[in-house]
Amino acid sequence: MQVQLAKGVRLTTVTSHQFKTNQIIVNFRAPLKRDEITKRALLSNLLETSSADYPDQRALAHALAAMFGAAFGAGVSRKGPTHSLQLAITVPNERYLATDQALTASAIDFLQKIIYRPLVKDQQFDQATFDRQVTNLQASIESLADDKQYYAAQKLNEALFVADAAQQVPSFGTVADLGTLSATDLYAYYQTVLATNQIDIIVMGDVDVEAVTTQWRQVGFKDRPTDRLTAFYQHQNTGHYVETSEQQALSQAKLNLGYDLPVFYRDNHYYAALVFNELFGGSPLSKLFMNVREKASLAYYASSSLDTFRGVLKVQAGIDGKNHDQVLQIIDDQLTAIKNGEFTDELVDQLKLGLINDFESSLDSQRTFAIQALIDDLTQRQVSDDEWLQQIQAVTREQIQAVAQLVTLNDGFFLNGGAA
């Protein structure tokens, strides 16, 4: 059930008797802007760790313990050209406990206090808390640089989206941007978030829909811009391959490749693209895994992944630097083989079965249901579980080949640890 609490504010209640917990997600969605990404990431840290009612993590922990061990968290994410700041709480369903406490109502009240009563003094976030969270976020971002595969992936991302600075930046921002933020400016920006961001509230579980709706109406949400946010970013296909490289002291070189693949979430070719990715590099039965890693022993790992909100396909491989040219060629050979139909129907059936098993396993996750509701609202493309399964089963080898024909290698980043 979905109701509009104000223009640009939607409450979706997904009633389910499958789980013994209830989950509430509040998602603030806005267009992706380069100068706001780090601000939103820092906001998520501040909101997750303090508020006027719970000024420190001890007070927060005490409040969650009082709700029979409720779990609370905040974070940021990106889908195509949109950025989301999200708060979520999972609380036991009181119907399964020996208590008269209205835990779902308590959890909603908790979230409302976190959002609308931040730890603020004199029109700025509490300075000590602000400084601590800046330090924590900086440490978190800097620690990722030690992960060489992540580093190489980020460098590839910068090349793939060279024409759009906002798409280049990770969803959690940059250390350089952190240094420009103040407690006063961030609080002013937060007021803008509350007033202008589209808000999606998801309540999932065995709940009283009328009571939940009444409790959220009491917030008194104000109307905000209702222009539907675009769910998809169209990557610009250059039509040719450009590789950049860097050398560092490491034992295993990283080769990351970025392809243009204009296939988007639940659009034409989408289900065939899911099977294609499994065949190319998305599973242990894939051509990259079997031929690059296992048969040729040219990679410590080799895999592919789809981004159907930005129209790209990525490959990542850990290799011996001296084998760069050979690895690049054999990866291309695997794509050519799929274009030429050099795979068996039996393998396709196995890949479909793997996708179906993963899909059915995900149905046991309450969070999967809640996140799917958010994606459905963003994209306005909904399918039932049965339809999803039917679409996967219906994918043909010709459709897989057609997807392969759409793939164009654009960019590469090679992080080498060998001799220059």
**Does residue 21 surpass a pLDDT of 70?**
yes
pLDDT at 418: 59
Average pLDDT over residues 8-20: 90
pLDDT at 260: 98
What is the CB neighbour count within 10 angstroms for residue 293? 21
Beta bridge partners of 246: 415
**Does residue 419 surpass a pLDDT of 60?**
no
Give the residue from 2, 11, 16 showing the smallest Cα distance to 204: 16
- Determine how β-strand 299-307 pairs with β-strand 82-92: unpaired
pTM of the model: 0.92
**pLDDT for 68-94, tens place per residue?**
999 999 999 999 999 999 999 999 998
List the domains of the chain with CATH numbers. Answer: 2-217 (3.30.830.10), 242-416 (3.30.830.10)
Report the C-alpha gap between 264 and 414 in whole angstroms. Answer: 27
pLDDT at 265: 96
For 316, residues 6+ apart whose C-beta sits below 8 A from its C-beta are 149, 152, 153, 254, 255, 256, 257, 301, 302, 303, 304, 305
Report the run of H or E that residue 23 belongs to, with start and end: strand 21-31
Three-class SS state of 416: strand
Report the C-alpha gap between 111 and 218 in whole angstroms. Answer: 13
For 349, residues 6+ apart whose C-beta sits below 8 A from its C-beta are none
**pLDDT for 335-388, tens place per residue?**
999 999 999 999 999 999 999 999 999 888 888 888 888 898 888 888 999 999
Report the C-alpha gap between 171 and 206 in whole angstroms. Answer: 33
For 361, residues 6+ apart whose C-beta sits below 8 A from its C-beta are none
